[in-house]
Amino acid sequence: MSTDQNKFQAIISHCKEYGFVFPSSEIYDGLSAVYDYGQYGAELKKNIKDYWWKSMTQLHENIVGLDAAIFMHPTIWKASGHVDNFSDPMIDNKDSNKRYRVDHLLEAFAETLPEAEGNALLAKMDELLKENDFAGLKTLIEDNKIKCSVSGTCNWTEVRQFNLMFSTQLGSVTDEANEIYLRPETAQGIFVNFLNVQKTGRMKVPFGIAQIGKAFRNEIVARQFIFRMREFEQMEMQFFVRPGTQQEWYEKWKEERMQWHLSLGTDPARYRFKDHAKLAHYADAAVDIEFEFPFGFKELEGIHSRTDFDLKQHQEYSRKKIQYFDTEINQNYVPYVIETSIGLDRMFLQVICNAYEEQDLSTPEKADSRVVLKLPAKLAPIKLAVFPLTKKDGLPEAAQLLIKECKQYFHCYYEEKDSIGKRYRRQDAIGTPFCVTIDHQTKEDGTVTIRHRDSMEQERVPLTEVRNIVMNKIM
Ligand code: GAP
């Protein structure tokens, strides 16, 4: 295992140990590719959401928000192309008629092999999946003599496509007419509300609609923690533009989204653009913003020029006119769309991976180390921890007074147990940017020690200044 893979395992363990991310339904042995966010994870996730939402809606006068339902009319997914095109490969055993997802079959078989052989098989599988090489996948199954667990034979059909959408029944009658899907992307909720928002908000093209919400995909390769989940959240923005101007807006949003990422202070060398080799059915141009995760450069966000595909499809399937009258050029048209789409959970993973550091602080006299999450202060779950040096002499009361003053403005944490050093370490591990210690001198001259997480520097400042110091960093 490479050091980076070890680091990734350490990050996963850290997320669990410190209340960021837990496997779903853990007491029942978990549910594959589904995760829950713990007390600090939920805060961090919310802060990421707020940072994105604010940058889109509050900082752009021509972008407004939307919160559409997860359940939508099933024809929407026919119109969008997801019913026909959003699929992954599967295979049937001819003797037992049992159907398998190709990846599940190969993954189960890989687990029976020595680790290196199993990994090589999975790497080959990933390569074939990426190329949509169905014949190659079948050959891989046959060459490895993988058997059906029911019939015990290798008598396989051809590999066929399996739709990634989850479906369920609406109402009590279980016939096909009532089958609906859990949305696989939030974007369609925006498209079908285009006219509602444009008219009620008196929006003028170019304008955008932003949305954050759950999406569901029965993912075929779901092995990298919260990188690829079956239930996840997306933060998407559809920007509606005049036909013919889409290239210009595509370039603008590419640049703007990259700047948003860089605004969080990450080393620019850890990001790159990657043009899509194979375009989705709706796009005329598409690029990924990739981040260097511990398992390599991988997609973090997609920017797609979706043409007028979706609005036109909904116009056709709903038989309702979806057009915009542009008063500047006196013309009706179906707007073109630039989409920016980022997974909230994937952004969470990016933030954690970028922040996680194991530091050796040993001196010749003493072995020492710490794990620190160098989270951007504005995203940290807790902004300020306040410690009384001792549990007596009125120090806890003074600490609580400071918390009372600050908690209206940001999230604080009070801790009086263990040595100050241990308390610092616990806050480092959850990424708290500031710790303040209240000691006996505080009572004499009204000053406290404030300790900065990344540099570990400590300085003496007036108690009355603490709130401003923190506010300046998190705004
Ligand atoms: N509306 C366009 C769309 O959904 P996508 O490239 O399929 O495009 C956009 O997804 C983003 O959603 C990805 O860049 C990724 O951040 C996130 N995403 C997609 N599938 C995911 C999954 N299974 N788990 C977590 N995040 C996912």
Same structural domain, 337 and 402: no
Going by alpha carbons, the residue nearest to atom 19 of ligand 1 is 343
Read off the pLDDT band of 82 (50, 70, 90).
very high
Q: How many CA atoms lie within 13 A of 51 on its CB side?
A: 23
Cα 242 versus chain centre, distance: 30
Evaluated on CA atoms 414, 349, 52, 191, the torsion sign reads: negative
The tokens 């147990």 sit on which residue?
417
pLDDT recorded at residue 87: 84
Same structural domain, 209 and 307: yes
Strand 285-293: give its sheet, edge to edge: 63-66, 207-216, 231-241, 336-343, 296-307, 285-293, 271-275
Q: For 245-279, what is each residue's pLDDT tens digit?
A: 999 999 999 999 999 999 999 999 999 999 987 67
* Whole-number Å distance between alpha carbons of 397 and 443: 11
Candidates 235, 296, 295, 303; CA nearest to 273 is 303
Tell me, using a 6 A CB cutoff, whether residue 217 lines ligand 1.
Answer: yes
Distance from residue 342's CA to the centre of ligand 1 (Å): 6
Read off the pLDDT band of 143 (50, 70, 90).
very high
Candidates 399, 383, 384; CA nearest to 439 is 399
* CB contact burial 132-155 (16+ within 10 A = b; e otherwise): eebebbbebbeebebbbeeeeeee
* Whole-number Å distance between alpha carbons of 361 and 374: 16
More confident: 34 or 101: 34
Residue 223 resides in a domain: yes
The tokens of 170 are what? 């609406």
Same structural domain, 310 and 248: yes
Q: Are 110 and 122 in contact (CB under 8 A)?
A: yes
Distance from residue 236's CA to the centre of ligand 1 (Å): 10
The best mutation among 232, 287, 291 to test binding of ligand 1, ranked by most ligand atoms within 8 Å of the C-beta, falls on 232
Cβ count within 10 A of residue 268: 9
pLDDT recorded at residue 72: 96
Q: For 196-240, what is each residue's pLDDT tens digit?
A: 999 999 999 999 999 999 999 987 656 689 999 999 999 999 999
Q: pLDDT at residue 312 above 70?
A: yes
Range of the domain at 451: 382-474
Residue 238 resides in a domain: yes
Number of helical (H) and strand (E) elements in the chain, helices listed first? 16, 23
Q: For 150-196, what is each residue's pLDDT tens digit?
A: 999 999 999 998 889 999 998 876 566 688 999 999 999 999 999 99
* Whole-number Å distance between alpha carbons of 61 and 108: 51
Residue 309 resides in a domain: yes
Q: pLDDT at residue 106 above 60?
A: yes
Ligand 1 atom index nearest CA of 222? 23
pLDDT recorded at residue 28: 96
Q: Are 322 and 238 in contact (CB under 8 A)?
A: no
* Whole-number Å distance between alpha carbons of 144 and 221: 20
Q: Which residues pair with 233 in a beta bridge?
A: 214
Q: For 335-384, what is each residue's pLDDT tens digit?
A: 999 999 999 999 999 999 999 999 999 999 999 999 999 999 999 999 99
Mean pLDDT across 318-347: 97
Q: Are 154 and 76 in contact (CB under 8 A)?
A: no
pLDDT recorded at residue 174: 59
Q: Which residues pair with 101 in a beta bridge?
A: 90
Same structural domain, 338 and 387: no
CA dihedral 391, 397, 402, 405 (to 10 degrees): 150
Query: Diameter of the chain by CA atoms?
Result: 85
Residue 372 resides in a domain: no
Q: Which of 32-36, 219-223, 435-439 has the lowest mean pLDDT?
A: 219-223
Q: pLDDT at residue 410 above 60?
A: yes
* Whole-number Å distance between alpha carbons of 431 and 264: 14
Tell me, using a 6 A CB cutoff, whether residue 301 lines ligand 1.
Answer: yes
Ligand 1 atom index nearest CA of 187? 1
Candidates 187, 179, 350, 336; CA nearest to 264 is 350
Same structural domain, 403 and 451: yes
Same structural domain, 250 and 288: yes
Tell me, using a 6 A CB cutoff, whether residue 188 lines ligand 1.
Answer: no
Residue 215 resides in a domain: yes
Cα 237 versus chain centre, distance: 15
- Residue type at 312 in one-letter notation: K
Same structural domain, 202 and 294: yes
Q: How many residues would you count in the chain? A: 475
Same structural domain, 432 and 302: no
Tell me, using a 6 A CB cutoff, whether residue 189 lines ligand 1.
Answer: no
Residues 6 or more apart whose CB falls under 8 angstroms from that of 212 comprise: 49, 52, 53, 67, 186, 233, 234, 235, 236, 344
Same structural domain, 443 and 337: no
**Which helix (H) or strand (E) covers residue 421, if one does?**
helix 420-430
The tokens of 312 are what? 């036109």
Ligand 1 atom index nearest CA of 184? 4
Angle, to 10 degrees, between the axis of helix 115-130 and the axis of helix 102-111? Answer: 170
Number of domains in the chain: 2
Ligand 1 atom index nearest CA of 347? 16
Same structural domain, 332 and 418: no
pLDDT recorded at residue 405: 96
Mean pLDDT across 55-83: 97
**Ranges assigned E (strand) in 356-465:** 356-360, 369-373, 384-388, 412-414, 434-438, 447-452, 458-462
Same structural domain, 315 and 197: yes
Mean pLDDT across 15-30: 96
* Whole-number Å distance between alpha carbons of 92 and 138: 11
Q: Which percentage of the chain shows pLDDT scores above 70? A: 97
* Whole-number Å distance between alpha carbons of 160 and 210: 35
Mean pLDDT of the residues in the chain: 94
CATH code, domain with 28:
3.30.930.10
Residue 171 resides in a domain: no
pLDDT recorded at residue 222: 60
* Whole-number Å distance between alpha carbons of 447 and 416: 19
Residue 339 resides in a domain: yes
Tell me, using a 6 A CB cutoff, whether residue 302 lines ligand 1.
Answer: yes
* Terminal C-alpha separation, the chain: 41
CATH code, domain with 407:
3.40.50.800
Tell me, using a 6 A CB cutoff, whether residue 225 lines ligand 1.
Answer: no
Tell me, using a 6 A CB cutoff, whether residue 341 lines ligand 1.
Answer: yes
Residue 386 resides in a domain: yes
Q: Are 215 and 186 in contact (CB under 8 A)?
A: yes
Same structural domain, 248 and 313: yes
